[in-house]
Structure 1
Amino acid sequence: MKTIFGVLSLLIVVAVVGTMVKKQLTGVTPISITQQEAGQAAAPASAPQGNAQQQSQQIQQQVRQSLDAAMQQARPVPEDK
């Protein structure tokens, strides 16, 4: 009897956690990159200029710019509130 209650409570916990995970994963939307952004990011990388230090600084600047652009995008507000 004790074993049956243990297994049932474990199944209930797994079901609750599963529904919570499913709800969280459906709220995630993929980030889309426009053609213009993709072209801007690919053009400098295909034709690097200068020495290794300058190339490294250019890459770091490109990463910062792309992160800033990604952070400026509005997050979708959940509708279940």
Structure 2
Amino acid sequence: MRALMGIVGLLVVLVFVGLLARKQLAATRAPMPALQTPGAGAPADTVRAQSQQVQQQVREQVQTLMQQARPMPDDEQ
């Protein structure tokens, strides 16, 4: 009888955890509401422009670093 109650208790806990996991997974799959109104392309254009600006800055920094002379060790043999 005691073992049967233990198994029933485990099954109840397992069902409860399964329901919580299913609820959590359903919440992560739910689509996020749109932050911008339909037809407003300006924020997307701004983000694209900022992204291109950052890419251009990184590209320029890399080119500048590639053109610098590499420091040579003091004890050349």
TM-score normalised by the chain length of structure 2: 0.42
Bigger relative contact order (CA 8 A; separation at least 6): 1
TM-score normalised by the chain length of structure 1: 0.41
Structure ID, larger Rg: 2
